[in-house]
Structure 1
Amino acid sequence: MLTDLLDPAAHADHWPWALVLLLAAVVVGALLPVLPTGAAVSAMAALGHHRSWLSLGEVVVVGAAAAYAADVVLYALLLRGAHTGPGRRLRRRAEEHGRLDELGARLSRHDVTTLVTSRLLPGARIPVLAAAATTGYPAVRFAVANAVPAVCWAVAYAALGLAGRAVGDRPWVSVAVAVAFGLAASGLTGLVRRLRAR
């Protein structure tokens, strides 16, 4: 299947499965931060652009939808289980990165900006979601405000994929460069965040 995806002339039958795989990777990676979800979007964007602009748009839509869904699920888990085992662990992890009350105050004043920042900075998303869930930030407001960060995140990593696509005409080269760009962007923002914290 991968070789078929890397060949733009191959049958289009595999593309929907690739989008399903992207959806699953972003959801799982957002709920259990073990997969580099941004790099997955970058790679698929580079691959999608080899196919068509429409395919690139599909990658952005699927990536944004998956990121949004994962954030809503995680927020709901934190909201319901703030005092249970998993909820307590997530809350403890969030408290290590910053004070929840301070983040909650930022959310109430600048919710979309705070959510966009937390989505783009590695390690910032869970503390902000924990703050939203534990400081009385309204669930409906979160559901509306979180759409913008999900789209911004997908567009940012798709743009890295386009940069990878610009490097070479061969799909596998574009994908490799896009993955490298995605991993580098995540690593660099994480490093800057740690240096600023010191």
Structure 2
Amino acid sequence: MPDLLDPAARAADSWAWALVVLLAAVLLGALLPVVPTGAAVSAMAALAHHRSWASTGEVLLVGAAAAHAGDLVLYALLHRSENRLARLLHRRSTSGRAAAHVAELGERLARHDVRTLVAARLLPGARVPVMVAAAGTAYPVRRFAVAAAVPALAWSLVYSAIGLAGRSASDRPLVGAAVAVALGVGVTVLVGLVQRRRAARRPR
């Protein structure tokens, strides 16, 4: 039994709880896309590097596992069209011109599923339409479970790398984490702006 007065034991317990919180946050963000899960992974990676490279690897794996599990849960919910979440996401993704876009995404999944899922994970706002497209087609559930592991790992790797970049800005853990969050949010906003500009230039 660990000594409750041992600082090392308390630090290990605190880190374990931090990983549990990260796991829960990423899972929640998979169902509620407004939760900034990428920034959470970046901040944790910045803090982890002050502990050890092994802790950084734990953040990477926990982020990837939670993202993958969240995608599987959302995919299962979208298959059950009678639930409120599925109806809401489907309605938002198939209204107006979005319907044609979802149909196009379904064709992309049929041709290059892993590549399409990776892009959906990394590009802001792209994940839910791709999930709706996958759930609305004959895309096999087992195939999705395997293919979605690669995007989840890639996503966690990217935001962990952003966290390490933030860590390099300062030797103080909280400052490094704050810089990592700012970098993560900045990258997301920048990619979103580029996406919107490209979409505005496309012929209608």
TM-score (norm 2): 0.89
Match of 2:86 in 1: 87
Secondary structure of 1:167's counterpart equals coil
Match of 1:57 in 2: 57
Q: Does 1:27 align with 2:30?
A: no
Secondary structure of 2:35's counterpart equals coil
Match of 1:196 in 2: 198
Distance 2:83 2:41 in 1: 33
Match of 2:137 in 1: 135
Distance 2:110 2:126 in 1: 17
Distance 2:60 2:24 in 1: 14
> Residues 37 and 84 from structure 1, CA distance in 2 versus in 1: closer, same or farther, beyond 3 angstroms?
closer
> Residues 162 and 147 from structure 1, CA distance in 2 versus in 1: closer, same or farther, beyond 3 angstroms?
same
Match of 1:117 in 2: 119
Structure 2 counterpart of 1:91, one-letter code: H
Q: Does 1:179 align with 2:178?
A: no
TM-score (norm 1): 0.91
Distance 2:65 2:158 in 1: 14
1:30 to partner: Cα distance: 1.6
Matched residues, percent identical? 63
The 8 Å contact of residues 38 and 159 in structure 2, kept in 1 or not, is answered as: yes
Aligned-CA RMSD value: 1.5
Q: Any unmatched runs of 5+ in structure 1?
A: 1-7
Q: Any unmatched runs of 5+ in structure 2?
A: 1-7
Secondary structure of 2:125's counterpart equals coil
1:191 to partner: Cα distance: 1.3
Residues paired across the two proteins, number: 189
Computing the radius of gyration over CA atoms, which structure comes out larger, 1 or 2? Answer: 2
Distance 1:58 1:167 in 2: 22
Match of 1:46 in 2: 46
Alignment of 1:63-78 (within 5 A): 63-78=63-78
Structure 2 counterpart of 1:40, one-letter code: A
Match of 1:99 in 2: 101
